[in-house]
Chain A
């Protein structure tokens, strides 16, 4: 770590103590089924031994934002941050109940889920506007990152001057191409991980301490 980074960290720690800055609230955002809840569960389990919410292959399983406060993340050098982690519903521009009936869910339940998922997107955007200090933007590395919703969301996050780490998830799958995500968002740090298997999450923790601290 260079001297400048060390100095910046010391200064930010000093300012935090001096001004009693509250802990950072980090939102995990991204399209449905990118692995947001899997990562949120891993972070909370790694650092508190707990879990945050259920995971499913059905999109929009998380339809309300879930929050865990006071999670301390540290590294071997004695650096640490205390964050509130917010797992948000997947942000998308279209929700149709057929997405759920394809998984064998009855129409009535599917319509209800679609309505809740829509409310969930509104809630996720509300959090982003009002109460988030930094963003982990999750992408499924097996899919094309150049989708309109991703470009739009990263643009919205940038326009709010929020620090963002882009996570290229699912690198355990053979089709994963984290390089494609790096080339899509060269202006932001991109960390390839497997949230499911835990591959590379230590790199993500290190980056979070550096970036959100």
Chain B
């Protein structure tokens, strides 16, 4: 088990895909390569993993590059965007906003960046709305 998550200490077998994706337990993105003889050092010597990381040569510490903000600043249901594009092929969808209108505000990558689809805001009202208006 040559890798340990530096956040929660979970161990991963050699060749585990989780080391490339992120720790399934805590979402940690940094892993320390541990040799078999040092596997239990953190527990037996009561050395915090952070210290082991500091002592380890750079090539033993594997970190997954973070391309976009992993945690949005606000929960999506409170935010103004309809859809947030977190990266190529990765989306968060605010179905409560979609249930209200077709108007599209697209969140882009990092929090605080938006695209506004003005065309979607100029569309005529739908059938239900028209029917209500006629009833009035």
Contact = CB atoms under 8 A, between A and B. Distances in A.
Given A95-B93, A149-B95, A129 B128 contact: yes
Label chain A's interface by main secondary structure: helix
Contacts of B102: 122, 126, 129
Interface string A156-170: 100010000000000
Interface in A87-121: 91-98, 107, 110-112, 114-115, 118, 121
B18 interface: no
Interface residues of B, number: 22
12 contacts: A91-B95, A95-B90, A111-B89, A114-B89, A115-B91, A122-B102, A129-B100, A129-B102, A130-B126, A131-B126, A131-B127, A152-B95
B interface, over-half SS = mixed
A152 B100 CA distance: 13
Interface of A: 91-98, 107, 110-112, 114-115, 118, 121-122, 125-126, 128-131, 149, 152-153, 156, 160
Residue in A110, A125, A153 with the greatest tally of chain B CB atoms within 10 Å: A125
A118 B98 CA distance: 11
Interface of B: 21, 76, 82-83, 88-96, 98-102, 104, 126-128
A114 B90 CA distance: 7
A160 B99 CA distance: 10
Contacts of A122: 82-83, 93, 98, 102, 104
A110 B21 CA distance: 17
